[in-house]
Protein backbone atom coordinates (compact mmCIF):
# COMPACT_ATOMS: atom_id res chain seq x y z
CA UNK A 1 0.00 0.00 0.00
CA UNK A 2 1.34 3.45 -0.94
CA UNK A 3 2.02 5.69 2.06
CA UNK A 4 -0.46 8.28 0.66
CA UNK A 5 -3.32 5.76 0.76
CA UNK A 6 -2.35 4.63 4.23
CA UNK A 7 -2.37 8.23 5.38
CA UNK A 8 -5.79 8.84 3.84
CA UNK A 9 -7.15 5.67 5.46
CA UNK A 10 -5.90 6.70 8.90
CA UNK A 11 -7.26 10.23 8.43
CA UNK A 12 -10.69 8.83 7.49
CA UNK A 13 -10.68 6.54 10.54
CA UNK A 14 -9.76 9.39 12.87
CA UNK A 15 -12.47 11.61 11.35
CA UNK A 16 -15.01 8.83 11.78
CA UNK A 17 -14.11 8.28 15.41
CA UNK A 18 -14.28 12.01 16.13
CA UNK A 19 -17.73 12.15 14.52
CA UNK A 20 -18.95 9.23 16.64
CA UNK A 21 -17.54 10.86 19.76
CA UNK A 22 -19.23 14.15 18.88
CA UNK A 23 -22.62 12.53 18.23
CA UNK A 24 -22.83 10.22 21.18
CA UNK A 25 -20.51 11.28 23.95
CA UNK A 26 -19.51 14.89 24.22
CA UNK A 27 -22.72 16.88 24.15
CA UNK A 28 -24.22 17.80 27.49
CA UNK A 29 -27.21 19.93 26.48
CA UNK A 30 -27.82 23.06 28.53
CA UNK A 31 -30.89 22.75 30.78
CA UNK A 32 -34.10 24.16 29.32
CA UNK A 33 -34.61 27.80 30.29
CA UNK A 34 -38.07 28.58 31.63
CA UNK A 35 -39.29 31.81 29.97
CA UNK A 36 -39.35 34.90 32.20
CA UNK A 37 -42.62 35.54 34.04
CA UNK A 38 -43.65 31.88 34.16
CA UNK A 39 -44.80 30.75 37.60
CA UNK A 40 -45.61 27.34 39.07
CA UNK A 41 -48.11 26.23 41.74
CA UNK A 42 -46.64 27.11 45.15
CA UNK A 43 -43.52 28.38 43.35
CA UNK A 44 -42.35 24.78 43.36
CA UNK A 45 -39.30 24.13 41.19
CA UNK A 46 -37.40 20.91 40.36
CA UNK A 47 -34.16 21.20 38.40
CA UNK A 48 -31.92 18.28 37.46
CA UNK A 49 -29.26 17.61 34.87
CA UNK A 50 -29.99 15.34 31.92
CA UNK A 51 -27.81 12.66 33.52
CA UNK A 52 -29.84 12.81 36.74
CA UNK A 53 -33.15 12.58 34.86
CA UNK A 54 -31.81 9.67 32.84
CA UNK A 55 -31.07 7.80 36.08
CA UNK A 56 -34.55 8.14 37.61
CA UNK A 57 -36.88 8.02 34.57
CA UNK A 58 -37.88 5.02 32.45
CA UNK A 59 -36.16 5.30 29.08
CA UNK A 60 -39.35 6.14 27.15
CA UNK A 61 -40.29 8.88 29.63
CA UNK A 62 -36.80 10.35 29.41
CA UNK A 63 -36.91 10.49 25.61
CA UNK A 64 -40.33 12.16 25.54
CA UNK A 65 -39.97 14.63 28.42
CA UNK A 66 -36.30 15.55 28.16
CA UNK A 67 -35.64 15.17 24.43
CA UNK A 68 -39.01 16.43 23.15
CA UNK A 69 -40.01 13.07 21.73
CA UNK A 70 -43.51 12.03 20.70
CA UNK A 71 -44.97 8.66 21.60
CA UNK A 72 -46.57 6.43 18.99
CA UNK A 73 -50.33 7.26 18.82
CA UNK A 74 -52.47 4.76 20.70
CA UNK A 75 -49.45 3.45 22.61
CA UNK A 76 -50.43 4.78 26.03
CA UNK A 77 -53.01 3.07 28.24
CA UNK A 78 -53.91 6.53 29.56
CA UNK A 79 -55.53 7.41 26.22
CA UNK A 80 -58.43 5.14 27.21
CA UNK A 81 -58.37 5.87 30.94
CA UNK A 82 -61.88 6.90 32.04
CA UNK A 83 -61.68 6.71 35.82
CA UNK A 84 -61.93 9.79 38.04
CA UNK A 85 -58.52 11.05 39.03
CA UNK A 86 -55.54 13.32 38.61
CA UNK A 87 -52.86 13.24 35.93
CA UNK A 88 -49.44 14.42 37.10
CA UNK A 89 -46.01 15.02 35.56
CA UNK A 90 -44.00 11.79 35.59
CA UNK A 91 -40.80 13.72 36.32
CA UNK A 92 -41.77 15.89 39.31
CA UNK A 93 -45.36 14.78 40.21
CA UNK A 94 -46.75 18.26 39.61
CA UNK A 95 -50.56 17.77 39.21
CA UNK A 96 -51.41 18.75 35.60
CA UNK A 97 -54.92 17.67 34.58
CA UNK A 98 -58.19 16.47 36.09
CA UNK A 99 -60.16 13.60 34.57
CA UNK A 100 -63.18 15.96 34.30
CA UNK A 101 -61.38 17.89 31.53
CA UNK A 102 -60.33 14.78 29.59
CA UNK A 103 -62.12 14.04 26.34
CA UNK A 104 -61.80 11.56 23.50
CA UNK A 105 -60.05 13.40 20.66
CA UNK A 106 -59.70 10.24 18.50
CA UNK A 107 -56.04 11.15 17.96
CA UNK A 108 -54.50 8.30 19.95
CA UNK A 109 -53.13 10.67 22.60
CA UNK A 110 -54.66 11.57 25.99
CA UNK A 111 -56.41 14.91 25.47
CA UNK A 112 -57.67 17.57 27.87
CA UNK A 113 -59.35 20.92 27.39
CA UNK A 114 -57.70 22.69 30.36
CA UNK A 115 -54.90 22.23 32.89
CA UNK A 116 -55.80 21.69 36.57
CA UNK A 117 -54.65 25.27 37.34
CA UNK A 118 -53.53 27.80 34.77
CA UNK A 119 -49.88 27.81 35.88
CA UNK A 120 -49.45 24.02 36.07
CA UNK A 121 -48.07 24.17 32.53
CA UNK A 122 -46.69 26.83 30.21
CA UNK A 123 -46.62 27.18 26.43
CA UNK A 124 -43.72 27.81 24.10
CA UNK A 125 -43.55 28.27 20.34
CA UNK A 126 -42.37 25.12 18.55
CA UNK A 127 -42.24 25.87 14.84
CA UNK A 128 -45.87 26.27 13.76
CA UNK A 129 -47.12 24.40 16.83
CA UNK A 130 -47.35 25.37 20.51
CA UNK A 131 -45.43 23.18 22.90
CA UNK A 132 -46.68 22.47 26.44
CA UNK A 133 -44.20 22.08 29.30
CA UNK A 134 -44.48 21.36 33.03
CA UNK A 135 -44.04 24.62 34.96
CA UNK A 136 -42.20 22.91 37.84
CA UNK A 137 -39.54 20.89 35.96
CA UNK A 138 -39.86 22.02 32.29
CA UNK A 139 -40.71 18.50 31.09
CA UNK A 140 -41.94 18.43 27.49
CA UNK A 141 -45.51 17.10 27.77
CA UNK A 142 -47.03 17.59 24.31
CA UNK A 143 -48.71 20.36 22.31
CA UNK A 144 -51.84 22.50 22.57
CA UNK A 145 -54.18 23.19 19.63
CA UNK A 146 -57.18 25.46 19.07
CA UNK A 147 -59.61 22.74 17.96
CA UNK A 148 -60.73 21.49 21.37
CA UNK A 149 -64.23 21.34 22.87
CA UNK A 150 -66.03 23.95 24.97
CA UNK A 151 -65.61 25.65 27.40
CA UNK A 152 -62.02 26.53 26.37
CA UNK A 153 -61.84 25.40 22.73
CA UNK A 154 -58.36 24.06 23.51
CA UNK A 155 -56.98 20.58 22.96
CA UNK A 156 -54.02 19.70 25.16
CA UNK A 157 -52.58 16.76 23.23
CA UNK A 158 -50.37 14.96 25.73
CA UNK A 159 -47.90 12.12 25.65
CA UNK A 160 -49.27 9.49 28.05
CA UNK A 161 -45.75 8.43 28.94
CA UNK A 162 -45.12 11.90 30.37
CA UNK A 163 -48.03 11.47 32.80
CA UNK A 164 -48.87 9.38 35.85
CA UNK A 165 -52.50 8.75 36.81
CA UNK A 166 -53.82 8.57 40.34
CA UNK A 167 -57.39 7.39 40.79
CA UNK A 168 -59.60 9.37 43.14
CA UNK A 169 -62.25 7.16 44.69
CA UNK A 170 -65.60 8.91 45.02
Annotated catalytic sites, by residue?
157
Nearest distance from C-beta of residue 120 to Zn ion, angstroms: 9
Q: Which is nearer to Zn ion, 79 or 94 (CB)?
A: 94
Q: Which is nearer to Zn ion, 134 or 154 (CB)?
A: 134
Q: Which is nearer to Zn ion, 89 or 116 (CB)?
A: 89
Restricting to residues 81-140, name those near Zn ion by CB under 5 A: 89, 91-92, 94, 134, 136-137, 139
Q: DSSP assignment of the chain, as one string? A: --HHHHHHHHHHHHHHHHHHHHHHTS-PPPPPPPPTT---GGG------HHHHHHHS-HHHHHHHHS---PPTT--GGGG--SSEEEEETTT--EEEEGGGEE--SSSS-EESS-SSGGGEEEEEETTEEEEEETTT--EEEEEES---TTT--EEEE-GGGEEEEE---
Restricting to residues 17-76, name those near Zn ion by CB under 5 A: none
Nearest distance from C-beta of residue 62 to Zn ion, angstroms: 13
Count of positions on this chain that bind Zn ion (CB under 5 A): 8
Nearest distance from C-beta of residue 37 to Zn ion, angstroms: 18
What residue ranges bind Zn ion (CB under 5 A)?
A: 89, 91-92, 94, 134, 136-137, 139
Amino acid sequence: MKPTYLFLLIAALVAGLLWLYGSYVAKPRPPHKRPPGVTSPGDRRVEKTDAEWKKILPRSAYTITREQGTEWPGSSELTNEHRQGIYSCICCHNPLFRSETKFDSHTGWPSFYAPIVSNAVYNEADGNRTEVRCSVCDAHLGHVFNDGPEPTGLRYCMNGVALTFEELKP
